[in-house]
Amino acid sequence: MIRSTTAEWGWPAKLLHWLGAAFILVLLIHGWWMTHLAARPDRLANYGWHAAIGYDLMGLLVLRLLWRWANPVPALPGDLKPWERTAAHLGHFGLYLLMLATTLTGWAMAGTGRCPCGRTCSASSSR
């Protein structure tokens, strides 16, 4: 089944979910590794890779949101208490908000043009 229904998620929704989860995990591990373990000369290249994967995650997040808005959402179990329903909706909204805020913050940080060494990076700078 391609499209989601009120009973079940479609395979594209599941694929976008798990790709997003994998990207986030890779970005967390890579971000920690590049700031704590990577050799200093290699850090700039790692920052570039980290930014590229982050941009991919941002695009994937936009696709995921568009897919979600274009498809029905499976209903929550009927035996949930009202506070559990509210918590589920708020938690889900919060996770989307955090994913969006994190990718936009990373984009803004990449746009500052700062190298890990603290200097301004540009193609015209001479060293």
What was the pLDDT predicted at 13?
95
Residue 60: closest CA among 5, 7, 103: 103
What was the pLDDT predicted at 109?
84
What was the pLDDT predicted at 39?
81
**Between 121 and 108, where is the model more confident?**
108
Residue 38: closest CA among 26, 30, 27: 30
Residue 1 to residue 102: CA distance in whole angstroms: 32
Distance between alpha carbon 19 and the CA centroid of its chain, in Å? 10
Interval 84-110: pLDDT, tens? 999 999 999 999 999 999 999 988 888
Residue 90 to residue 84: CA distance in whole angstroms: 10
Residue 39 to residue 69: CA distance in whole angstroms: 44
pLDDT band, very low/low/confident/very high, at 118 (cuts 50, 70, 90): low
Residue 27 to residue 33: CA distance in whole angstroms: 10
Q: What does the pLDDT average to over 64-80?
A: 94
Whether 68 and 100 have beta carbons less than 8 Å apart is answered as no
